[in-house]
Chain A
Amino acid sequence: MTLLEEKINRGGPISPHLQVYNMFALTSFLSILHRIFGAALFVGTLLFVYWIGSAASGPKAYDAAMNFLGSWFGYLLIFGWSFALFYHMCNGVRHMTWDTSRMIDLKSIYQSGYVMVGCAFGLTLIAWVVGLSV
């Protein structure tokens, strides 16, 4: 018997498996993205470790890392990581607001969802406009 069957049999709570929800309602979609981006951020820390580790290895390794990070592929990875970071941060604030039992009705959940997505895009845009102009 699998763990899932075991849980179902004894009437315990089961985890939010993707296929039981309409994945493309705004509410569930943003929630699923929160997890996917969270996992992507964790894997993406390898990029950060590479950057900081190269700097600790001396000027030569640092320059090589800067060359890679400054390539189009490096930019693509950093861009993806930065958007995931701002999204996860903004949605995290939304989640912690719910933890205080505020804004937890359906209308507020939709409104805060739109605001959160706007903030995530806005912060990413500002970061890259400022970053590329410095």
Chain B
Amino acid sequence: MAIMRSALGRARGLGSAKDGFHHWWVERLTAIALVPLTLWFATGVISVAGADYETFSAWMGKPWNAGLMIAFICAAFLHGKMGMEVIVEDYVEPRCVQVAVRIFLNLAAFALGIFSVVSVLIVALGG
């Protein structure tokens, strides 16, 4: 490529970084949160694997379990949709389809996340 141009000259006109750093940062924040949350989630789910409804709702009724489950859901759906956005940005063309897929991903992630949180609350509060 054109080596004669300065680094700034080459960067100019390529468009701003927009919210690139913020996206990267929130993806890392949620990743950090998800390491302990995932370990808790795995042990929690194992402890109620195959349990009947009463046992399961009693387990979910514990404030710590409901709280950690909601934290896991929020972090997981946010992290998941951000990761999917990066993949879509890399591989989906043309731009109009890419934007459409990103809109769909955002709406789907928030819808599923809210549905899950509400479900946890219903079970925890005794439906």
Mark A residues whose CB is within 8 Å of B.
2-4, 10-12, 15-17, 35, 38-39, 41-42, 45-46, 48-49, 52-53, 55-56, 58-59, 62-63, 66, 70, 82, 85-86, 89, 92-93, 95-96, 99, 123, 127, 130-131, 134
Pairwise interchain contact B119-A52, C-beta atoms closer than 8 A: yes
Q: How many whole Å from B6's CB to the nearest CB in chain A?
A: 13
Give the interface size class of chain B.
35 or more
Which 9 pairs, one residue from A and one from B, show the smallest C-beta to C-beta distance?
A56-B119, A15-B90, A56-B122, A59-B53, A42-B80, A131-B46, A52-B119, A11-B1, A3-B93
Pairwise interchain contact A39-B84, C-beta atoms closer than 8 A: yes
Pairwise interchain contact B53-A42, C-beta atoms closer than 8 A: no
Pairwise interchain contact A92-B116, C-beta atoms closer than 8 A: no
Pairwise interchain contact B46-A85, C-beta atoms closer than 8 A: no
Query: Does B76 reach chain A (CB closer than 8 Å)?
Result: yes
Give A130 to B48 CA distance when docked, in angstroms. Answer: 12
Question: Which chain B residue shows the least CB distance to A61?
Answer: B53
Q: How many whole Å from B16's CB to the nearest CB in chain A?
A: 13
Pairwise interchain contact B34-A89, C-beta atoms closer than 8 A: yes
Cβ–Cβ < 8 Å partners of B87 in chain A: 35, 38-39
Give A95 to B57 CA distance when docked, in angstroms. Answer: 37
Taking a contact as CB atoms closer than 8 A, the residue among B13, B109, B115 that contacts A53 in the complex is B115
Query: Does B4 reach chain A (CB closer than 8 Å)?
Result: no
| Given A3-B93, A11-B1, 9 more pairs with CB closer than 8 A | A2-B93, A42-B80, A45-B77, A46-B112, A52-B123, A53-B116, A55-B56, A56-B119, A70-B50
Cβ–Cβ < 8 Å partners of A58 in chain B: 127
Cβ–Cβ < 8 Å partners of B83 in chain A: 38-39, 42
Pairwise interchain contact A42-B84, C-beta atoms closer than 8 A: yes
Given contacts A56-B118, A134-B47, contact A45 B112 (CB under 8 A): yes
Query: Does B71 reach chain A (CB closer than 8 Å)?
Result: no
Query: Does B42 reach chain A (CB closer than 8 Å)?
Result: yes
Query: Does B100 reach chain A (CB closer than 8 Å)?
Result: no
Give A66 to B53 CA distance when docked, in angstroms. Answer: 10
Question: Which chain A residue shows the least CB distance to B119?
Answer: A56
Given contacts A55-B56, A134-B47, contact A12 B14 (CB under 8 A): yes
Cβ–Cβ < 8 Å partners of B127 in chain A: 56, 58
Query: Does B31 reach chain A (CB closer than 8 Å)?
Result: yes
Query: Does B35 reach chain A (CB closer than 8 Å)?
Result: yes
Q: How many whole Å from A129's CB to the nearest CB in chain B?
A: 10
